[in-house]
Amino acid sequence: MNSEKSESLLLEKIQKGDEYAFEIAFLKYYTPLCKYIWKYVRSEDLAEEIVQEVFATVWETRANLDSSGHLRGLLYEIARNQALDYIKHQKIVDKYIAEAKQIKTEEQYLTINYEDSRGHQELVNDVEEAIAGLPPKAQEVYLLNREDGLTYKEIAKYLGISIKTVESQMRRVLQILRDHLSKYLSIFVLIALGLYF
């Protein structure tokens, strides 16, 4: 039996719920898929985790698989898509971390320069006023993040909205706060923090 026909037969058996056929596919492709995914993620542990998810996906969706297709191609396509999804997610996480560091730097600057000065109460009042003036949904997102310490992902889940919506709301809030509190930051700090346009 040629390779292509055996692949189709294996895929057909997996589609019908044949655990032995699935095990054969797992043993045959697990290591090559790990090596393939490593090229994307540069981590053995992560590559193995993604490949395990690939096989879990194949088994869970076996009834919907196209048995006329090619098993190897299917596995590599799913693996590649999951690796790319991970990379996209990681870029979003990295962006959030960078944004959080930037906010922390701003807060530290404001705290250091105004905590012991007469302007401190005025600053506190202005911050509270700026937050109170935010649109209700934006205010809720901001307070869940700043006061309750929820991550963007947790906020999205809690409010039943997408992470992109949370990100958009936070970006809007931060811009409003920067504009409202800009009188407290010197031009040099604004430039250093990338807030001066």
**What are the tens digits of pLDDT across the range 9-20?**
888 888 889 999
Query: Nearest 5°: phi and psi at 135?
Result: -60, 145
Percent of the chain at pLDDT > 70 equals 74
For the record, the structure tokens of 105 come out as: 């730097």
Residues of the chain with CATH 1.10.10.10: 117-192
Tokens of 30: 């697990």
Q: What is the pLDDT of residue 178?
A: 74
Q: Mind listing the pLDDT tens digit for each residue in 90-147? A: 877 667 677 766 766 665 555 555 445 555 566 667 777 777 777 888 788 888 887 7
C-alpha–C-alpha distance, residues 96 and 89, integer Å: 11
Nearest to 65 by CA among 10, 24, 26: 10
Confidence of residue 26 (pLDDT cuts 50, 70, 90): very high
Q: Determine the topology of domain 117-192 in CATH.
A: Arc Repressor Mutant, subunit A (1.10.10)
pLDDT at 1 over 70: no
CATH 1.10.1740.10 in the chain is located at 3-87
The model's pTM is 0.47
d(CA 57, CA 22): 12
Q: How confident is residue 165, by pLDDT bands cut at 50, 70 and 90?
A: confident
Taking every pair of C-alpha atoms in the chain, what is the biggest distance, in angstroms?
Answer: 86
pLDDT for residue 150: 79
